[in-house]
């Protein structure tokens, strides 16, 4: 987790989190807006300004506990002509944006290598890009967990029937409790952590196959 990193990596982590959270929430707002929902846009969330998206407490939590959150983007499904399709795409847009950022970061690392830019210099971006890729892959995998209030859970809500969705909403609070228990008790190391590690490794290997 992030709190195991050295203090020297802290600036890289903070910058990566700010960028990752900002783009993630912007992606939610942008896709919702494109599907006809102006709610986030009217509340000033259709922006790359981190101040509009970062939750200070959530950012601190990701530093000390390895998980955190940004300010949720408000979405009004009543504006959508096709609520299920729009709902899935709006929910997936956030994690997908982190995957794209990870891909771009990895591309930057490869470019530095191919240009022969030496590491360890005053202008060495390699450690930052490496951390940037890791954090964005972690956020991609983490947010796709099928537990409320994460995006993975919201995607499942829109893929199931209305009847199942109603049942899920009824028991959603218990899912949130399970999520918290996993994190507090350390059981996340046998559940959430392997999920994140496996998904991250999978896409890391895909990046390698694309660039090499």
What residues act catalytically?
25
Cβ atoms of residues 29 and 40 within 8 Å:
yes
Closest CA to 30 of 109, 92, 84: 92
Show the tokens assigned to 32: 């919702």
Q: Which residue in 3, 201, 188, 28 sits closest to 102, CA to CA?
A: 201
State both tokens at 18: 């700010």
CB 46 within 8 A of CB 27: no
3-class SS string, 168-204: HHHCHHHHHHHHHHHHHHCHHHCCHHHHHHHHHHHHH
Give the pair of three-digit tokens for residue 12.
């890289």
Helix axis angle for 56-64 and 10-34, nearest 10°, is: 130
Residue count (the chain):
212
- Distance of alpha carbon 87 from alpha carbon 183, whole angstroms: 27
What's the Cα-to-Cα distance from 56 to each of 5, 49, 52, 117, 147, rounded to whole Å?
20, 14, 11, 35, 23
């Amino acid at each position: 987790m992030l709190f195991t990193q050295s203090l020297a990596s802290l600036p890289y982590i903070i910058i990566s989190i700010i960028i990752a959270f900002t783009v993630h929430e912007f992606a939610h707002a942008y896709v919702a807006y494109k599907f006809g929902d102006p709610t986030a846009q009217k509340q000033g969330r259709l922006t790359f300004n981190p101040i509009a998206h970062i939750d200070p407490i959530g950012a601190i939590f990701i530093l000390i506990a390895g998980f955190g959150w940004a300010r949720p983007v408000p979405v009004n499904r009543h504006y959508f002509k096709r609520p299920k399709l729009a709902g899935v795409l709006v929910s997936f847009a956030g994690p997908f944006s982190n995957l794209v950022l990870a891909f771009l970061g990895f591309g930057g690392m490869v470019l530095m290598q191919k240009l022969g830019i030496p590491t360890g210099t005053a202008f060495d971006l390699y450690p930052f890009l490496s951390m940037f890729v890791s954090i964005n892959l972690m956020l991609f995998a983490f947010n796709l967990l099928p537990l409320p209030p994460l995006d993975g859970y919201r995607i499942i809500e829109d893929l199931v029937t209305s009847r199942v969705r109603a049942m899920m909403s009824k028991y959603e609070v218990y899912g949130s409790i399970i999520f918290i228990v996993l994190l507090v008790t350390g059981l996340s190391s046998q559940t959430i952590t392997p999920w994140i590690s496996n998904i991250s490794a999978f896409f890391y290997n895909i990046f390698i196959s694309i660039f090499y």
